[in-house]
Amino acid sequence: MNPTDVFTTMLHGVDTLDWGTVLSSFADRVDIDYTELWGGEPDTLPIDALVTDWTELATGFDATQHLTGPLIMTHQDDERVECATTFRAYHHLIEEIGASTWMVSGRYAIRLQRDADRWRIGAITLHLAYEEGDRRLVEAARQRSVAGVGGRTSLLV
């Protein structure tokens, strides 16, 4: 498998709520930097904490779709691959009064690291280009997820 396939596989896992695939795509701890989108500081998280957060967010939406361009390797050796890709991430929510979408666009910088005989994601940095739609949908999706209503919360096992 091409080392960069792990990132695309992980995003497909998020969009299909396949949390086992998402978990297996990451190293035990991951450096996350979404500060251009959310502010705050970059963080290093245990993968369980990151996936718990993403699960709460993604299941409250009625659909998500992460689209990337080709992943371009900027560094590769036997233990580490660094790559970058452009992306658009769509987050769709349907309510009684209609449907809304929040879209984020930009570039991901990704670090992959070898773990035994496979590659895992060790770091993701999101570089924001722009957003469209209503960012407040994020809080609405989280509320739905926590309450266990709406979105794809019924798909949680």
In angstroms, the CA 38 to CA 7 distance is 21
Beta bridge partners of 114: 119
pLDDT digits (tens, 9 = 90+) for 66-85: 999 999 999 989 899 999 99
Place 153 in a pLDDT band, splitting at 50, 70 and 90. confident
Q: What predicted TM-score, i.e. pTM, was given to this entire model?
A: 0.93
Q: Does position 89 have pLDDT exceeding 70, yes or no?
A: yes
Give the pLDDT confidence of 126-146 residue by residue, as tens digits.
999 999 999 999 999 999 999
> Could you tell me if residue 113 is inside a domain?
yes
Q: What is the CATH number of the domain that holds 13?
A: 3.10.450.50
Domain carrying residue 46: 5-147
Identify whether 67 is part of a domain.
Answer: yes
Taking the C-alpha atoms of residue 15 and residue 44, their distance in angstroms, rounded to an integer, is 23
Q: How many residues does the chain have?
A: 157
**Spatial separation of the C-alpha atoms in residues 37 and 63, rounded to whole Å:** 20
For residue 156, being part of any structural domain is answered with no
Q: Is residue 75 part of a domain?
A: yes
Instruction: Look at residue 152 and tell me if it is in a domain.
Output: no
| Tally of structural domains, the chain | 1
Per 3-state DSSP, the chain is made up of helix, strand and coil in percentages (nearest 5) of 30, 45, 20
Other CB atoms within a 10 A radius of the CB of residue 123 amount to: 19
